[in-house]
Amino acid sequence: MTERAYHHGNLRQELLERAWATIDGDGLEALSLRQLARDVGVSHGASARHFADRTALLDAIAVAGFTRMNETLAAAVAGETTFAGQLRAAGLAYIGFAVEHPAILDLMYKAKHHPDASPELVRLSRSSMAVVIELVGEAQARGEVRPGDVERQSLVVFAAVHGVAALATDDLLDGVPWRDAAEATIDAVLGSLTGVATT
């Protein structure tokens, strides 16, 4: 593939997809801007016109990661009508994304804390928590969740689900399948928020 093939503006997307695949498969340390340019068949200068430096590229990958994850969560929740169903679907989707893309998820959270993080990345990184707050707030209004500080309840939900994701991706579940750990954790959170024991 030559540089001429990118005259219509698809080089940026090609670079992003290749960088995602590299990090996803071999970890962040395997990513080299010069090798990335060679992999897609362009000069380093051509790639630099889209990503001035490594930080800019990682920011863009993090944006893509949060976008994909948020879309996954939205799709999971869309088919559910009860809080229990929504929370279970969202929790499993989040942990599933983490297990499938551990290096990407790690990059996403590191990039959002970078001093030069783009406004788009900061906004997208807050969307997952916003979804939880919305779900908990609506469920509380319907009487499915006990009264209380919605943001505090949502923080417990997010902390529990992200905790399982971290344990799973760091291989700290001592052989327990991540789905089993996720189900048990979600059941405990639901019991806490709804006052109804789950099995």
* pLDDT score of 39: 87
d(C-alpha 149, C-alpha 140), whole Å: 10
- Mean of the per-residue pLDDT values of the chain: 90
User: Among the listed ranges 32-41, 68-77, 164-173, which one has the minimum average pLDDT value?
Assistant: 32-41
* pLDDT score of 197: 58
Give the model's confidence band at 1: pLDDT under 50 very low, under 70 low, under 90 confident, else very high. Answer: very low
Q: How many residues does the chain have?
A: 199
Q: How far is CA 25 from CA 22, 31, 39, 47, 74, in A?
A: 5, 10, 15, 21, 26
